[in-house]
Chain A
Amino acid sequence: MSTFLGWNGLRWLNALTAIMVLLVMVDAFIGHYRSGFAVRAQYTPFLSGGAILIAAVLAGIAPHEGWALQLLLVTGAGGVLTGIVGAGYHHYYGITSKPGGYGWLLHHLMHHAPPLAPFALSAVGALAVLVATGLRGSGAVLGVPLRTAALCVVAVTLAGAALQATLLHYRGAFNNPLMYAPLTTPVLSAAAVPWLILTRGRWALLSVTVLFEATFLIGFVGLGMHLRGFDRMMGGLRVALPNVLDGPAMTAPALFSGFAAAGLTALYLL
């Protein structure tokens, strides 16, 4: 297995898992704080995400300790499950229980609990499971080779994130042309991954690489633009708290960078 700056692909993926679970928790906190933690289940992402974070840090320090990897595996699986259950909660509290119910579907999708957001925790959990499996010496999860599995997780996540971002950008009436960005390379990357997996061709590899790299950059542009988004709200960054609560999702664009980096890691280091 090749290495980069002395770490192999799995250790890099582990580091990315730790960073991304932190990002996911920041956005979840903002969203759940905004709705006042009205439902007790709104604390779960922090329990589950916190556990993944601790496990990833421990696995980073002790990548060969069986108990650390076991912990990462269990917390990762917990994250996958929490995300799925969370999506159910978002669906119930965001749509079903709201006035008008499904008759007001688009309204609820735009204005209430972001329907796909909880799956970000599932995605990070899946990466943790993958890392734990790999570090324990296995070359496949559920019979799928690690590299392919990692690429699949990345592709599905990028597609889902693009969908969720597009929904929220639609709510913002695409008031800045850059708001179309999630529909560009993230979507193309997601589409190109199956091509690569199925053909293993050079062009496919090159395309996916370039698309991941572009997506990596776009995430940072997005972070900057979201910061600017807060500034374009009433009072701008001088009244940061309300604007962060009400404005664009603070760390969400970084997930594009994070998963693109995970994709590149899978391509070249696994």
Chain B
Amino acid sequence: MGDRMTRVADARERTLTAPGIDGERVPMRDRSREEVDFCIVGAGAGGGTLGAKLAEAGFSVVIIDAGPHWDPTRDFVSDEAASHPLFWTDERISAGEHPIELGSNNSGRGVGGSTVHYSMIAMRAHPDDFRRRTILGEIAGAELRDWPLGYADLEPFYEEVEHDLQVAGPTFYPWGRRRKRYPQREHDLNACAKVLVEGCTKLGIPVAPAPIATLSAPHRGRSPCVYRGFCNYGCTTNAKSSVLVTYVPRAIRAGAEVRPGCMAARIEHDSRGLATGVLYFRADGAELHRQRARNVVVAGYAVETPRLLLGSASAMFPDGMANSSGCVGRCFMVHTGDQVFAKFPERINQYKAPPPGGAITEHFNRTIPGEAFVCGYTIEVVGPHVVDFASRMATSRGLWGASLRREMLDYNYWSGLGIVGEVLPRRDNRVELHHDERDRHGLPIPRVVFGYHGNDQAIVRHAVRQMTSILEAAGGRESWHADRTAHLLGGCRMGHDPHDSVVDADCRSHDVPNLWICDGSVFPTSAAVNPSLTIQAIASRTAARIRELAARRELSPHHGHAAPAARIHPAPRGTA
């Protein structure tokens, strides 16, 4: 991009405003002229959470995001089709033995990231999920690794995030480690969740209320959920604890600048290989802008994060930044998200209430004795809206035209279950740059290559059988199965060994000490639980570690130019 003009943003100090969460505008500090302590790329689960915690610790922070800064009370509409701009639908090539669908089912665009349209299931991973390699050993065709941190390291941060999000969950959750009570009480069940509870109870499968990051009681000016069920299209009531309405306002209040409509194009570095800032495009503009920073954090999720690192290749880093291990983009994972639907004699209204419905079973989230596969899956409730459901009917059952219309008349009588199935990491599953095709900014688009391990498919077969029998035990008929994936993970795995991983347990890259990666891409293995709470717990832990490192003067190495090294003692809150 050398022939394009690079310019530092306007030299005049401006006071900006950002959308508040109740339709108001809130003042926001303009930091475009500064060399900030942290420039974070991506304001989603990882970036938004980390940004708020760092700003509150007194660091100067800019968070840039490619998408808009939504005003939930004005921008979100209760309309499936009109909500499309929430999703990351930039062109990507999907390839491999089992190319995955990319878009509304797995990634978001805009401040708040994918949490703006996620389903809010707020689960902790289990202690064994962090030790897959130790527990399972070598598995042919898979590249299992232990995480460099364990459950005990994350536990206090899980608790902190659950508190910040006011997760509503059961008084006693039967799976995993004993835990403190959730901050809010579980929601009531919708009809689909009743089906799950009914079916599981009949079959003797333990089932429990689901922990959901949506208010079940008022909290600080936010009202509890009204159960209308538009969560996957942006919640208009602010009951949903997305990053957009929780951490982002905190970040702004603490002095961070959240800059929407900015697509990071590359990370810059100096002659010593230290990151110096980020070059980005604004909206559809052709000019590059620069944000100088003493530390850069990449939090663009499992496709865009490797893409940005690979796209930042230079003479010094010919294979992309932080990629001396060759691991950037490798061991990319998804969760299997297969769903089974059955028809019931009574009205179900599957779209009502948050999609997780209120019940869950982790009974099969373990290596089941006697089965020919390792690891397992969680069964959750799903409630696709009409267009989504119709497209599943069309693709999975081959219905079209009159037959699709006829079946869709019974939309309200169908009830569904879906899984979060563990997918083993495979080296060949990867994100790479497609140099022949470029996006509207001229950046190479990502190519995502994916193929299942046999184990992943065995899990799905087991899960489909179980879901079918649960639905049938509850009185469902005419069941059918839709194959699907959800959640993108890995691609920049964390680990102790710099030759075998991209970042360490603190999310700091092994190669470039002031470059951090803090999102779903750091997962070494996928764990059969929804990932956002773990991503946010890791982000909170990273923020705590950064504070500790700063206090010990170990944060960032000195830069050559006039800029000071990272502030040693974070400024007290409120001074920013």
Q: Do A and B bind each other?
A: yes
Nearest neighbor of B219 in chain A, beta-carbon distance: A175
Residues of A within 8 A of B184 (CB): 173, 175
B201 near A173: Cβ-Cβ < 8 Å? no
A111 near B188: Cβ-Cβ < 8 Å? yes
Residues of B within 8 A of A242 (CB): 226
Choose from B185, B194, B198, B218 the contact partner of A110 (Cβ within 8 Å): B185
Choose from A101, A106, A107, A175 the contact partner of B217 (Cβ within 8 Å): A175
A233 near B197: Cβ-Cβ < 8 Å? no
What sequence of 0s and 1s flags, for each residue 233-252 of chain A, a beta carbon within 8 Å of any chain B beta carbon?
11100000010001000000
- Closest chain-B Cβ to A94's Cβ sits at a distance in Å of 12
Nearest neighbor of B224 in chain A, beta-carbon distance: A233
Considering the complex, which residues of chain B in the window 149-179 have a beta carbon less than 8 Å from any beta carbon of chain A? 166, 168, 170-172
Contacts A111-B189, A229-B218 aside, 10 further interface pairs with beta carbons under 8 A come to: A101-B201, A106-B172, A107-B170, A172-B217, A173-B168, A173-B184, A173-B216, A175-B217, A233-B224, A234-B224
Residues of B within 8 A of A99 (CB): 189, 194-195, 197-198, 201
A173 near B197: Cβ-Cβ < 8 Å? no
A172 to B216, CA, bound (A): 7
A232 near B188: Cβ-Cβ < 8 Å? no
Residues of B within 8 A of A111 (CB): 188-189
User: What is B's interface to A at a CB cutoff of 8 Å?
Assistant: 166, 168, 170-172, 183-186, 188-189, 194-195, 197-198, 201, 207, 209, 216-219, 223-224, 226, 237, 239
A232 near B223: Cβ-Cβ < 8 Å? yes
Residues of B within 8 A of A143 (CB): none
Q: Does A103 contact B (CB under 8 A)?
A: yes
B209 near A107: Cβ-Cβ < 8 Å? yes
Q: Does A200 contact B (CB under 8 A)?
A: no
Choose from B185, B194, B209 the contact partner of A173 (Cβ within 8 Å): B185
A232 to B215, CA, bound (A): 12
B197 near A104: Cβ-Cβ < 8 Å? yes
Nearest neighbor of A171 in chain B, beta-carbon distance: B185
A242 to B228, CA, bound (A): 13
Residues of B within 8 A of A104 (CB): 197, 209
Residues of B within 8 A of A175 (CB): 184, 217-219
- Closest chain-B Cβ to A254's Cβ sits at a distance in Å of 22
Q: Does A66 contact B (CB under 8 A)?
A: no
Nearest neighbor of B236 in chain A, beta-carbon distance: A234
Q: Does A43 contact B (CB under 8 A)?
A: no
A100 to B186, CA, bound (A): 15
A227 to B201, CA, bound (A): 39
Give the contact-size bracket for chain A: 20 to 34
Nearest neighbor of A101 in chain B, beta-carbon distance: B201
Considering the complex, which residues of chain A in the window 133-179 have a beta carbon less than 8 Å from any beta carbon of chain B? 170-173, 175
Nearest neighbor of B189 in chain A, beta-carbon distance: A99
A76 to B545, CA, bound (A): 67
Nearest neighbor of A233 in chain B, beta-carbon distance: B223
A107 near B186: Cβ-Cβ < 8 Å? yes
Choose from A107, A173, A246 the contact partner of B183 (Cβ within 8 Å): A173
Nearest neighbor of B207 in chain A, beta-carbon distance: A100
- Closest chain-B Cβ to A119's Cβ sits at a distance in Å of 23
B218 near A232: Cβ-Cβ < 8 Å? yes
B197 near A100: Cβ-Cβ < 8 Å? yes
Residues of B within 8 A of A229 (CB): 218
Nearest neighbor of A232 in chain B, beta-carbon distance: B218
Considering the complex, which residues of chain A in the window 217-270 have a beta carbon less than 8 Å from any beta carbon of chain B? 229, 232-235, 242, 246
Residues of A within 8 A of B237 (CB): 234
Nearest neighbor of A100 in chain B, beta-carbon distance: B197
Residues of B within 8 A of A246 (CB): 226
What sequence of 0s and 1s flags, for each residue 91-109 of chain A, a beta carbon within 8 Å of any chain B beta carbon?
0000000011101101100
A103 to B200, CA, bound (A): 12
Residues of B within 8 A of A106 (CB): 171-172
Residues of B within 8 A of A110 (CB): 185-186
- Closest chain-B Cβ to A98's Cβ sits at a distance in Å of 8
A234 near B223: Cβ-Cβ < 8 Å? yes
A103 near B219: Cβ-Cβ < 8 Å? no
A266 to B188, CA, bound (A): 41
Q: Provide a sorted-by-A list of 20 A–B residue pairs whose CB atoms are within 8 angstroms.
A: A99-B194, A99-B195, A100-B197, A100-B198, A100-B207, A107-B170, A107-B186, A107-B189, A107-B209, A110-B185, A171-B185, A173-B166, A175-B184, A229-B218, A233-B223, A233-B224, A233-B226, A234-B224, A234-B237, A234-B239
A173 to B171, CA, bound (A): 11
- Closest chain-A Cβ to B195's Cβ sits at a distance in Å of 8
A106 to B208, CA, bound (A): 11
A162 to B195, CA, bound (A): 34
Residues of A within 8 A of B223 (CB): 232-235
- Closest chain-A Cβ to B173's Cβ sits at a distance in Å of 12
Most interface-central of A100, A170, A233 (chain B CB within 10 A): A100
Q: Please judge, given known A-B contacts A232-B218, A232-B223, whether A103 and B185 are in contact too, CB under 8 Å.
A: no
A123 to B550, CA, bound (A): 65
A111 to B184, CA, bound (A): 14
What sequence of 0s and 1s flags, for each residue 26-40 of chain A, a beta carbon within 8 Å of any chain B beta carbon?
000000000000000
B218 near A233: Cβ-Cβ < 8 Å? yes
A175 to B222, CA, bound (A): 12
A159 to B532, CA, bound (A): 43
B217 near A100: Cβ-Cβ < 8 Å? no
Nearest neighbor of B193 in chain A, beta-carbon distance: A99
A235 to B186, CA, bound (A): 22
B189 near A172: Cβ-Cβ < 8 Å? no
Residues of A within 8 A of B186 (CB): 107, 110
Residues of A within 8 A of B209 (CB): 104, 107
- Closest chain-B Cβ to A111's Cβ sits at a distance in Å of 4
- Which 9 A-B pairs rank lowest in CB-CB distance, beginning with the nearest? A232-B218, A99-B197, A234-B223, A99-B198, A111-B188, A172-B217, A173-B184, A175-B217, A100-B197
A182 to B166, CA, bound (A): 24
Nearest neighbor of A103 in chain B, beta-carbon distance: B201
- Closest chain-B Cβ to A106's Cβ sits at a distance in Å of 6
- Closest chain-B Cβ to A176's Cβ sits at a distance in Å of 8
A34 to B226, CA, bound (A): 14
Residues of A within 8 A of B194 (CB): 99
A68 to B224, CA, bound (A): 48
Residues of B within 8 A of A170 (CB): 185
A235 to B237, CA, bound (A): 9
